[in-house]
């Protein structure tokens, strides 16, 4: 269901001062702007980091804190606070959406890949893909063992 449709005005009524009359544009019909996109990325991002913040911390320090902070127009200490989620006094600090976009604009799209893997992939599809890869390896194994000089029953 499309947010803001005639069937769902109550969502907007819960916002103080909103009568529920606001409507979003209709969902594009056939011939609209919908597209299919195939993305290739390194698998396992969500296994290596528990959150997007943790993933970004690893990426920033791998690329170099000073270099990344300069590209984002932040001081290294400010970027450290934002990646930690708070300053040394415990006051909340977080990356804004604009800062995340600035980070991505500088060439590291892995935060997008992390979110895709976390929210848009199907565990059953990943399992099926792994089984298919194992089947291909099993087919190739006898020839590889023979070339390696390993005797296999």
Choice between 41 and 75, residue whose per-residue pLDDT is larger: 75
Radius of gyration of the chain (CA): 24
For 92, the 3-state DSSP assignment is: strand
Choice between 75 and 32, residue whose per-residue pLDDT is larger: 75
pLDDT tens digits along 70-117 = 999 999 999 999 999 988 888 888 999 999 999 999 999 999 999 999
The overall pTM is greater than 0.85? no
Are 82 and 93 in contact, with CB atoms under 8 Å apart? yes
Q: How many DSSP H helices and E strands does the chain contain?
A: 8, 0
Provide the mean pLDDT of the chain. Answer: 82
Domain ranges, ordered by start, for the chain:
1-25, 45-121, 122-153
């Amino acid at each position: 269901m499309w947010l803001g449709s005639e069937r769902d005005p109550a969502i907007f009524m819960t916002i103080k001062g909103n009568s529920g009359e606001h409507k979003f544009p209709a969902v594009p019909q056939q011939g609209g702007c919908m597209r299919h996109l195939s993305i290739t990325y390194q698998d396992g991002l969500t296994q290596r980091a528990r959150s997007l913040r943790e993933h970004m911390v690893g990426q920033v320090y791998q690329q170099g804190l000073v270099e990344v902070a300069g590209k984002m127009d932040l001081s290294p200490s400010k970027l450290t606070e934002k990646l930690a989620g708070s300053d040394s006094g415990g006051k909340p600090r977080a990356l804004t959406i604009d800062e995340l976009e600035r980070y991505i604009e500088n060439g590291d799209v892995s935060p997008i890949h992390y979110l895709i893997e976390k929210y848009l992939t199907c565990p059953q599809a990943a399992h099926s893909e792994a089984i298919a890869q194992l089947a291909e390896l099993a087919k190739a194994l006898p020839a590889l063992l023979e070339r390696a000089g390993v005797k296999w029953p």
